[in-house]
Amino acid sequence: MSETLQSINTTTAAVSDEAILETFERLAIAAGRAIMEVYNSEITVTDKADASPVTQADRAAEKIILEGLRAAFSGVPCVAEEETSEGVIAPDLGRAFFVIDPLDGTKEFVKRRTDFTVNIALVRDGAPEIGVVYAPCTGRFFAGRPGKAEAFEIVDGVAAGRRQIHVREGREPLTIVASRSHLTPETETFIKRVHAAEIVSVGSSLKFCLLASGEADLYPRFGRTMEWDTAAGDAVLRAAGGTTHTLDGAPLVYGKRNQANDADFANPHFVSSGRIIDPAFMF
């Protein structure tokens, strides 16, 4: 077992976290390039068994990411959206595993909107600890590892303008980010409880990143999500000082298998927030 692989499954030193993050960044940029080739040509859409859409861009991006992760970190389990939909999954995830959504926001992508992303995360002991979220259409890139979150732009395949980001202190009115494609009555009810709230509608895991970068305060999600939808953005948010809690006030955990009332890796409803939000206010 390599030194880097050992560090993933035990207490990871900062340099090892940096090495993992560098690999994530490289693979996300490569996947984003493949996605944009499809975006700028003809998009072919088919339906998966659960009726959700998938395109050739989803599959091409996932292939790039999985091949890269398995070459760099042999033996670390991967939970990837398209493989999982086809029943390909490791029987035992262990204490650490990768979570991949090669194209988060496929509906936005098909409509040729700009806020779809590539998501790659490392989950360790049920918590998302390292993650990247890349929006290839706009070049926005967010990265997080324990104790540090960054935002930058990708220009011609190169990172530029790196800056450290943090969730912001409280201000009025609070800004809530909500899903453009999945706004539910429960979410609307929650929003109405927040007086004078400013609402920003955005797709994909960029919602977590707007909180992490201090551009918004709350992200309530009272609709279905899967772990690959949330892990990378949640990792960035937690690295920036934010939190994600389920409706009972507990942190959202990852690696959920054999759930009595839902599928493997399905998330319960949750609320993500900056560090200054009192949980009693949300729940």
List pLDDT tens digits, range 133-168: 999 999 999 999 999 999 999 999 999 999 999 999
pLDDT attached to residue 192: 79
Which candidate, 230, 213, 142, 215, places its Cα nearest to that of 179? Answer: 230
Q: Given CATH 3.30.540.10, say whether it is the number of domain 3-164.
A: yes
CATH of 175-282 among 3.40.47.10, 3.40.190.80, 3.50.50.60, 1.20.1090.10: 3.40.190.80
Do 79 and 228 touch, CB atoms closer than 8 A?
yes
Do 196 and 173 touch, CB atoms closer than 8 A?
yes
pLDDT exceeds cutoff 50 at 210: yes
Q: What percent of the chain has pLDDT over 90?
A: 72
pLDDT exceeds cutoff 70 at 32: yes
pLDDT exceeds cutoff 90 at 122: yes
Which candidate, 69, 91, 88, places its Cα nearest to that of 25? Answer: 69
Tell whether 188 is in a known binding site. no
pLDDT attached to residue 127: 98
How far is the CA of 164 from the CAs of 15, 50, 153, 214, 215, in angstroms? 18, 39, 13, 11, 14
Tell whether 69 is in a known binding site. no
pLDDT attached to residue 20: 97
Of 30-39, 103-112, 226-235, the least confident: 103-112
Residue 204: CB atoms within 10 A of its CB come to: 28
pLDDT attached to residue 205: 93
Tell whether 66 is in a known binding site. no
Same fold, 3-164 and 175-282: no
Tell whether 11 is in a known binding site. no
Instruction: Tell me whether the omega of the peptide bond preceding residue 173 falls within 30 degrees of 0, making it cis.
Output: yes
pLDDT exceeds cutoff 60 at 278: no
Burial of 9 (0-12, 13-18, 19+ CB in 10 A): middle
pLDDT exceeds cutoff 50 at 15: no
105-124 b/e with 16+ CB inside 10 Å = b? bbbbbbeebbbbbbbbbbbb
Give the C-alpha separation, 274 to 37, whole Å. 36
Tokens matching residue 4 = 């880097």
User: At 128, phi and psi to the nearest 5?
Assistant: -80, 115
201 SS3 class: strand
User: At 14, phi and psi to the nearest 5?
Assistant: -60, -40
Tell whether 104 is in a known binding site. yes
Tell whether 262 is in a known binding site. no
**Mean pLDDT over the full length of the chain:** 89
Report which secondary-structure segment, H or E, holds 72. Answer: helix 56-72
Query: How do the domains of the chain map onto residue ranges?
Result: 3-164, 175-282
pTM: predicted TM-score of the whole model, two decimal places:
0.91
Tell whether 58 is in a known binding site. no
